[in-house]
Amino acid sequence: MPAKKKRKVTRRPSHKVDHDLGKGVEQFAEEVGKLGEKFGSHYEKKGKEMEGWSHQTLGVVGPLISSVLGVILLAVLLWVLNMINIPLGVGLLHNIHAFLAVHIGWFFLLFIFFSYTSYMSKLSPHVYRPLSPIVSAAGITVAVWIIASAVKVVNISMGSVTLAGVSAFLEGSIGTVFCILILIGYLILIFGGAVKIHKRHANELPEEKPKKAVKAPGVHRLYRSGNDRILGGVCAGIAEYIGIDPVIIRLLWIIASLAWGSGILFYIIMWIIMPRNPNHKWD
């Protein structure tokens, strides 16, 4: 019998792997930077529209005055709510009043924190920029805390096991959400700066025509999708590779994020590692 020919195994050069990984990081930074610029320009426009006269005329005392006024308005709201509920005797309104009254000191501290960070962002944007991920993470975390507390207050009258579980899960995830949001915020901040530097250097170099990806025979490559993407196209790319609806992959990713808390980190890693589909538009 003729001897079987040994199959030649070709190993991918390490420098090729490094190049692909570097390209993935570069594309991740570019796409995250564009998202950051999109949301940043939107909120910057809204912030300029909502900028009050207090920051311009009262200076450093303005945020304190606005915080005191905010607490006064909250106290008036509590008084009105209590007066309305005296003849009605609604348990839900009583629970809302009790929650706001107990936490009015925390609301005052939150008013001061966000008022002064807003003042700092206008007074010295360069100083505020390194702190912006913490401020953004704090704002979203406070929103999660308010939602969890609202569910808990509503459930006092209803006694639902499901709502109790949702409230307990949200309250238990506040610290994790805060840390993950800070990590994502600093990644966006770092990669956004890297994209600006890269664009600056790219403008100085002559443009090169994009090379078509060379597909090895018999290999079905896993790409990120540019046709049906929401963020990086990871879920849509996996769905195209398997041949199923992208909604199923997105639901599984949401369940993994809620159940084990690793979905966000896994998504970022896949965003960096998975290359773009060269046949899709990525504008």
Rounded Cα–Cα distance for residues 161 and 144 (Å)? 20
Candidates 224, 216, 279, 269; CA nearest to 12 is: 216
Label residue 174 exposed, middle or buried (CB < 10 Å: 0-12, 13-18, 19+).
middle
What is the DSSP secondary structure assignment for residue 275, as one 8-state letter?
P
Q: What are phi and psi of 87, to 5 degrees?
A: -75, -25
Tokens of 108: 């005052």
- Domains of the chain by residue range: 57-123, 132-203, 221-283
Mean pLDDT for back-to-back runs of 10 residues, the chain (283 residues) = 50 57 69 68 57 61 85 90 85 85 90 86 82 88 87 82 84 87 84 63 56 53 80 83 83 72 70 80 69
> What is the pTM (predicted TM-score) of this model?
0.52
pLDDT at 13: 53
Write phi, then psi, for 179 (nearest 5 degrees): -65, -45
Position 9 scores a pLDDT of: 47
List, in sequence order, every residue forming a beta bridge with 276; answer none if it has no partner.
224
Is the separation of the CB atoms in 241 and 204 below 8 Å?
A: no
Q: How far apart are the C-alpha atoms of 26 and 196, rounded to whole Å?
A: 11
Measured CA to CA, the distance from residue 181 to residue 114 in angstroms comes to: 17
Q: State the Cα–Cα distance between residues 162 and 133, nearest whole angstrom.
A: 33
Structure tokens at 82: 């209590």
Q: Return d(Cα 12, Cα 252) in angstroms, integer.
A: 32
Q: Where are the beta strands (DSSP E) in the chain?
A: none
pLDDT score, position 72: 92
